[in-house]
Structure 1
Amino acid sequence: MNPPSFRQATPSDIDRCFEIENCAYEGDEAATREKIATRIEQYPQGFIVMEQDGRVIGFINGGCAHDVVMSDEAFKELIGHDPAAPNVVVMSVVIDPACQGQGHASLMMRTFVAHMTATGKKTIHLMCKDRHVALYERLGYRYVRPSSSDHGGMAWHEMVMTLYAPIRKL
C-alpha cells in the first residue's frame, strides 16, 4: 500500500465524499450530497481529499469567515463564506471507517493546517464531540467552550487554533 496523497477536491469527488460522510457520521450529522457539492463548487481551495492507491479515503473541508459563529447552521452551506476572510471554519474531517485507526486523520489535519497557513489564514475553528477533544488538543487546538449548536442532536465542543506565518529568512 502506498502512502496517502492530498489534492483539492473536484466535482468528480462528490459521490465518493458523500459516501464516506454517510458512513462516518451518525444520524443527521452527515452533510447532504448537495452541501458537499456546494462546498466543492464554492471553495475548492478549502476542500482537500486524501487518496491512497487512487481511491479517496478521506477529506477535510471548511469555509472562511470574518466573524466566526460556530452554531450558524447556514454557514454549513457556505452562506456568509468569504474566501478572503482570515478565519477558517472546518465543517467535516472524515476518514473512511475501513481506513480509520491508522493516523490518517492526524496527517490530514496537519496537511490542512499547513495549507491554510500557506494561504495566509489566521485561525482554524472547529466543533467536535467529547471523544475528539483530546485528539485536537494534541494537534494544537485550544478548547474554547461547549457549543450552543445541537447539530445532528449531538453535544459539541468548540476549539480553535491560531496559525502563525512561516518565518522568512532575511
Structure 2
Amino acid sequence: MPTIRHASLADLDAIAAVEMACFPAAEAATKEGLHARLEVYPDFFWLLTEDGQGGDIISFINGFATDSPDLTDDMYEDATLHDPHGAWQMIFGVDTAPQYQHQGHAGTVMRQVIADASAAGRRGLVLTCKEPLIGFYAQFGFLDEGVSDSTHGNVTWHQMRLTF
C-alpha cells in the first residue's frame, strides 16, 4: 500500500532518477541541487512510495518555506533561502514516475502538502507551471496569477497561488 513520508539523503538517487524522467534537462533539478535541498530541508520533500521506507518512489513534491510571497528563480538554486517558519510554502516540483502517471498519485501528494502547509500555519502555497497544467492545479484551489517573471528552463511559467 502506498504511503507518504518525508525524504532523507538516502533517497537522493531515486529522487534524482524520477526528476530526470519527469522534466527536460533544462528544467530538471540536478542531482547536486537535489542533494543541497535534502541537506537543508528533507522534511519539505513529500514522497509517495510503494511500501513505505524502502519502496519505489511513485510521486513526490518538494519545495521550501519562505516569507517571500513570490517564487523566484534563485529559490531553486539556493537552499539556504529556506525559512522553516516562513509564511509561504513554495513548490519547486511535482514529479510522478512515468509508469505511475495519470493515476491520481500527484493529487494524493498535493492534498497532503496542502494539509501540512495549513497545519503549519502558512498563508498558502505558491508554484509555477506551464499553461497546460493550470487546470490541474486549479482543482486544488490554486489561482492563476498570470505569467511569472521566471525564466527557469527558458520556458513560460504561470504563477499559481493557493491562499488559506
* TM-score interval for Structure 1 and Structure 2 normalised by the shorter chain: over 0.9
Please report how far the alpha carbon of residue 121 of structure 1 lies from its aligned counterpart in structure 2 after TM superposition.
1.4
Corresponding position of 1:126: 127
The CA RMSD over aligned residues, in Å, is: 1.2
Please report how far the alpha carbon of residue 27 of structure 1 lies from its aligned counterpart in structure 2 after TM superposition.
2.9
Distance in 1, Cα, partners of 2:42 & 2:15 = 13
**How many residue pairs are counted as aligned between the two chains?**
160
* SS, match of residue 69 in structure 1: coil
Distance in 2, Cα, partners of 1:134 & 1:27 = 24
Distance in 2, Cα, partners of 1:99 & 1:83 = 31
Say whether the 8 Å CA contact 1:17–1:58 is kept in structure 2: no
Which structure 1 residue ranges, 4+ long, deviate > 6 Å from structure 2? none
Is there any run of 5+ residues in structure 1 with no aligned partner, and where?
164-170
Is structure 2 residue 32 aligned with structure 1 residue 34?
Answer: yes
Please report how far the alpha carbon of residue 68 of structure 1 lies from its aligned counterpart in structure 2 after TM superposition.
2.8
* SS, match of residue 26 in structure 1: coil
Please report how far the alpha carbon of residue 35 of structure 1 lies from its aligned counterpart in structure 2 after TM superposition.
1.3
Say whether the 8 Å CA contact 2:14–2:57 is kept in structure 1: yes
Counterpart of 1:131, as a letter, is P
Corresponding position of 2:13: 15
Please report how far the alpha carbon of residue 129 of structure 1 lies from its aligned counterpart in structure 2 after TM superposition.
0.6
Is structure 2 residue 60 aligned with structure 1 residue 59?
Answer: yes
The normalised TM-score by structure 1 is 0.89
Distance in 2, Cα, partners of 1:116 & 1:46 = 10
What is the aligned-residue identity percentage? 32
Counterpart of 2:122, as a letter, is K
The normalised TM-score by structure 2 is 0.92
CA radius of gyration, larger in:
1
Is there any run of 5+ residues in structure 2 with no aligned partner, and where?
none
